[in-house]
């Protein structure tokens, strides 16, 4: 948006001596000393943390509006004209993404002053960041050249691929979003599609053609989830920064997904479903909120390439993640059989009750629960209880029946959600059972409706990413993710990215597993 407050809020003289030393993206808040999400006030050049950390940048603005506040007196001393309107403190700049925000407008800013003062601050911060990065690389190079340095950690951080991995800053209990974004960014065929999309110009009129710095336009119809998702993916794995702040994407999420407004912890699986559904709808060019009806056997839609279509036209979301289930119900009284085909983007698997007390792999009490146990429980024949009686069209009333799932079509990327959260009378408890899962060679052939029509390698999957929930409840705890990139495993913990070995990944208590279809090749590896 065009902000009318720049002339009264941006300091006329850029005094670099008033900036903190070091990398701007790591500057500390002047109040709480946090280096997460630093913002610099463009009136007084003081640094405070963003609203998703402790909110001292916003409080700095609010305090400045009160009569006799120290900030306003300071600006009056700096301004020889003592124009009280200059002491606004309403405009600040993100020290990581260089986006500009106005608290009076409550929106991001796309315009500049007549003298280009905002751009001068931006260029100065970029220069400081580049200088700090160059100095850090020089220091690491000197350490590596030193014969006394034998630490594997230093060698990996300098010449290994780990330096290309970029973390995502936590904007205030946004670890659920960060874990999903990092997982999706390491699903190659999905991520590459978005990174290759052309940039979307959302603005027109006076601001058309100008470079956008994570701007947020007014009105729900003028924001693009696809575009902000594309920007975020493009910022990962470039190696230009250690952590990226996905604030612009988060604002779009707030606008189009009301369920995720606020700063409370959210369910990562629920967020993933909302994200994929909205990406699918926007890519279709269909913003209708009508729920897609379950597809019947006669109405099963598919493209010429055999891609499952959920709610109309196929997109990269459905072509990568969508499969088809056959839901088979049999009446136990008359034997009538009913079949229905349901498209899915992920499968939610119960952890069998007999394993729910086993929390670790090495615990002695009983066998270890495996992913195969969860899949078998999902596809096994079960008798529906009294609360789920089937309406038999032949008997003309609700009858006892059995239900069984078959997988009619496997997706390219199989997403498996382990149902770790269960409602009791008043609480939602977590099932903390360890579930053993394979890093490679997950064979899904035994769960297919027609396995004889499938090639030997087309139903074998290798693990691409796994989301882990740490803690005791869905409304608390913390999410992290492990993902494989170019043959190496990384652990993504918000803004921190570290190398991980396969043994560590295999011990994780998985919440969401992403398995990528193995390309057809000769030779077999051990199956699950």
In whole angstroms, what separates CA 178 from the centre of its chain?
Answer: 4
Write down the domain spans for the chain. 6-137, 165-197+225-262+346-353+412-522
Catalytic residue among 5, 163, 422, 478: 478
175 is catalytic: yes
Known catalytic residue at 92: no
Name the helix (H) or strand (E) containing 377.
helix 371-379
Lowest mean pLDDT among 170-174, 307-311, 386-390, 404-408: 307-311
Query: pTM for this structure?
Result: 0.65
What does the alpha-carbon distance between residue 460 and residue 435 come to, in Å, rounded to a whole number? 19
Question: Picking from 79-83, 227-231, 379-383, which range would have the lowest pLDDT averaged per residue?
Answer: 79-83
pLDDT of residue 2: 78
Lowest mean pLDDT among 180-184, 354-358, 422-426, 499-503: 422-426
Domains 6-137 and 165-197+225-262+346-353+412-522 share a fold: no
Which pLDDT score is estimated for 206? Answer: 43
**Which whole number is the average pLDDT over 328-339?**
80
Q: Do 331 and 384 contact (CB within 8 A), yes or no?
A: no
34 pLDDT higher than 50 = yes
Q: Which of 102, 175, 369, 374 is catalytic?
A: 175
Determine the distance from the C-alpha atom of residue 400 to the mean position of all C-alpha atoms in its chain, rounded to a whole number: 42
Residue 474 or 442, more confident:
442
Mean pLDDT of 231-251: 83
Per the DSSP assignment, residues forming a β-bridge with 48 are: 39
CB 457 within 8 A of CB 520: yes
In the predicted model, is pLDDT for residue 211 greater than 60? no
Query: Which of these CATH numbers, 3.30.360.10, 3.30.450.40, 3.40.50.880, 3.30.40.10, describes 6-137?
Result: 3.30.40.10
Residue 390's nearest CA partner among 381, 378, 398 is 398
Residue 254's Cβ-count burial label (10 Å; 0-12, 13-18, 19+) is middle
- Would you tell me how many other CB atoms lie within 10 Å of the CB of residue 419? 14
CB atoms within 10 A of CB 317: 22
Phi, psi for residue 422 in degrees, rounded to 5 = -135, 140
Residues 6+ apart with CB under 8 A from 107: 1, 3, 101, 216, 218
Query: What pLDDT score does 308 carry?
Result: 47
**Beta-sheet strand order (sheet of 401-409):** 337-344, 323-331, 401-409, 382-383
**Two structure tokens written together for 457:** 């390698």
**What integer is the mean pLDDT of 312-336?**
85
Indicate the DSSP class of residue 274: H
Interstrand relation of 347-350 and 413-419 (parallel, antiparallel or unpaired): parallel
* CA 1/CA 476 separation, integer angstroms: 36
Q: In terms of Cα–Cα distance, which of 121, 201, 104 is closest to 112? A: 121
3-state secondary structure of 55: coil
Question: Which of the listed ranges 291-295, 338-342, 495-499 does the model predict with the highest average pLDDT?
Answer: 495-499
| Residue with token string 């991980």 | 500
Q: Can you tell me the distance from the alpha carbon of 352 to that of 388, in angstroms, rounded to the nearest whole number?
A: 20
Fold type of domain 165-197+225-262+346-353+412-522: Cathepsin B; Chain A (3.90.70)
- For 301, residues 6+ apart whose C-beta sits below 8 A from its C-beta are 295, 308, 309, 312
Residue 445 CB contacts under 8 Å (≥ 6 apart), including other chains: 451, 454, 459
> Per-residue pLDDT for 302 more than 50?
no
């Amino acid at each position: 948006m065009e902000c009318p407050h720049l002339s009264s809020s941006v300091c006329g003289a850029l005094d670099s001596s008033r900036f903190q030393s070091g990398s701007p993206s790591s500057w500390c808040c002047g109040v709480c000393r946090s280096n997460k999400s630093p913002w610099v006030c463009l009136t007084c050049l003081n640094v405070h943390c963003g609203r998703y950390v402790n909110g001292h940048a916003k409080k700095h603005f609010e305090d400045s509006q009160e009569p006799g506040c120290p900030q306003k007196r300071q600006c009056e001393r700096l301004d020889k004209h003592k124009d009280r309107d200059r002491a606004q403190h309403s405009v600040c700049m993100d020290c990581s993404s260089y986006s500009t925000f106005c608290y009076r407008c409550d929106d991001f800013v796309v315009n500049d002053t007549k003298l280009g003062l905002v751009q001068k601050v931006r260029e100065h911060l970029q220069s400081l960041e580049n200088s700090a990065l160059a100095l850090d690389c020089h220091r690491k190079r000197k350490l590596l050249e030193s014969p006394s340095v034998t630490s594997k950690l230093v060698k990996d951080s300098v010449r290994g691929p780990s330096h290309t991995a970029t973390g995502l800053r936590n904007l205030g209990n946004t670890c659920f979003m960060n874990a999903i974004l990092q997982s999706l960014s390491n699903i190659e065929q999905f991520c590459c599609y978005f990174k290759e999309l052309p940039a979307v110009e959302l603005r027109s009129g006076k601001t058309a053609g100008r470079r956008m710095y994570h701007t947020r336009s007014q009105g729900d119809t003028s924001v693009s989830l696809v575009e902000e998702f594309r920007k975020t993916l493009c910022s990962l794995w470039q190696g230009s920064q250690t952590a990226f702040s996905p604030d612009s994407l988060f604002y779009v999420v707030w606008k189009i997904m009301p369920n995720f407004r606020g700063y409370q912890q959210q369910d990562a699986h629920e967020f993933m479903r909302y994200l994929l559904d909205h990406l699918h709808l926007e890519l279709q060019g269909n913003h209708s909120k009508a729920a897609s009806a379950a597809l019947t056997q006669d109405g099963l839609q598919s493209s010429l390439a055999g891609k499952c279509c959920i709610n109309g036209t196929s997109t990269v979301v459905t072509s990568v993640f969508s499969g088809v289930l056959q839901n088979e119900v049999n009446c136990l009284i008359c034997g009538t059989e009913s079949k229905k085909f349901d498209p899915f983007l992920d499968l939610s698997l119960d952890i069998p009750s007999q394993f729910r007390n086993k929390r670790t792999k090495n615990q002695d009490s009983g066998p270890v629960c495996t992913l195969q146990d969860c899949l078998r429980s999902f596809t096994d024949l079960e008798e529906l209880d009294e609360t789920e009686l089937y309406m038999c069209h032949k008997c003309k009333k609700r009858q006892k029946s059995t239900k069984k799932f078959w997988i009619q079509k496997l997706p390219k990327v199989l997403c498996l959600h382990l149902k770790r959260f269960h409602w009791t009378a008043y609480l939602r408890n977590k099932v903390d059972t360890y579930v053993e899962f394979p890093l490679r060679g997950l064979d899904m052939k035994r769960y297919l409706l027609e396995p004889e029509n499938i090639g030997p390698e087309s139903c074998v999957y290798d693990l691409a990413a796994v989301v882990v929930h740490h803690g005791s409840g869905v409304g608390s705890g913390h999410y992290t993710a492990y993902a494989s990139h170019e043959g190496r495993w990384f652990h993504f913990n918000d803004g921190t990215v570290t190398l991980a070995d396969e043994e560590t990944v295999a011990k994780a208590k998985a919440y969401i597993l992403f398995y990528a279809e193995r390309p057809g090749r000769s030779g077999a590896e051990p199956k699950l």
